Amino acid sequence: MTIKEDQQLSNSEYLDSRYVASNGDDPIHEWFRSFEHLQPFLGKNLLEQPGRAAQDNPKVLHLGSGDSVVPAELAGRGYKDQLCDIAGIEWKRVDVRDMPTVSTGSIDVAFDKGTLDAMIYGSPWSPPDEVKENTSRYLKEVHRALKDDGVFLYITFRQPHFMKLLLNPDNIWNMEMEVLGDGGTFDYYGYVIRKSKPQ
């Protein structure tokens, strides 16, 4: 993929044109991993977590859900307080770098599977200033929206040594990462990111 093609992924109009072809029941493209592949990670960090289990009714913010089936799978497991595009679930179309309709400190779980990655293009060693600015705005906005005990679950294919600098340049997060391998040749990474506690 060329830098120009990679850069197109950061354009909402480009992505909208792809999703227009989806019928809603059958996604045209499930980015990165299916719900089935993510279930062990989500089980540990969402489904089985006290305060985040379905019966606790946590507010889940899907950051760029596209036509992923993850929101529907969570709804089927009892997660009704989700911000995304699915019948019976509240839907808000916003720029993830500026979400004025999402109240400060209102989100229990923020979930990203491809949105942040779509903002990143160019050299991983020295990302363009635009990439650093957009990712910083996005992450500060997620930080603002999360409750103090909230969690940001982030799935990426990008190597951790490149991502850690983009994810936490202002040292506002505590991060844990696990490899989401399935024996294939291409690993994915699951981050569990929490607000840093004030010193």
CA 115/CA 27 separation, integer angstroms: 16
Both tokens of 79, joined, read 């997660």
Residue 21 binned pLDDT confidence (cut-offs 50, 70, 90): low
Q: What is the model's pLDDT at position 20?
A: 57
Tell me the three state secondary structure of residue 144.
helix
Q: What is the model's pLDDT at position 170?
A: 86
Q: Which of 72, 176, 71, 54 has its CA nearest to residue 113?
A: 71
Query: What average pLDDT does this structure show over 12-17?
Result: 58
Q: What is the model's pLDDT at position 26?
A: 57
Q: What is the model's pLDDT at position 65?
A: 66
Identify which has the larger pLDDT, 67 or 115.
Answer: 115
Phi and psi torsions of 7, nearest 5°: -65, -30
In this model, does residue 198 exceed pLDDT 80? Answer: no
Q: Which of 31, 6, 12, 1 has its CA nearest to residue 127?
A: 6
Both tokens of 61, joined, read 């913010």
Q: What is the model's pLDDT at position 148?
A: 95
Q: What is the model's pLDDT at position 59?
A: 92
Q: What is the model's pLDDT at position 114?
A: 86
Q: Are 142 and 134 in contact (CB under 8 A)?
A: no
Q: What is the model's pLDDT at position 70?
A: 84
CA 104/CA 89 separation, integer angstroms: 20
> Mean pLDDT for the chain?
83
Q: What is the model's pLDDT at position 23?
A: 57
Q: Are 171 and 181 in contact (CB under 8 A)?
A: no
Q: Are 61 and 110 in contact (CB under 8 A)?
A: yes
Both tokens of 123, joined, read 């050299």
Q: Which CATH number fits domain 3-195: 3.40.50.150, 3.10.150.10, 3.40.50.300, 3.40.50.720?
A: 3.40.50.150
Q: Are 192 and 175 in contact (CB under 8 A)?
A: yes
Q: pLDDT of 169-193, one tens digit each? A: 888 999 999 999 776 678 899 999 9
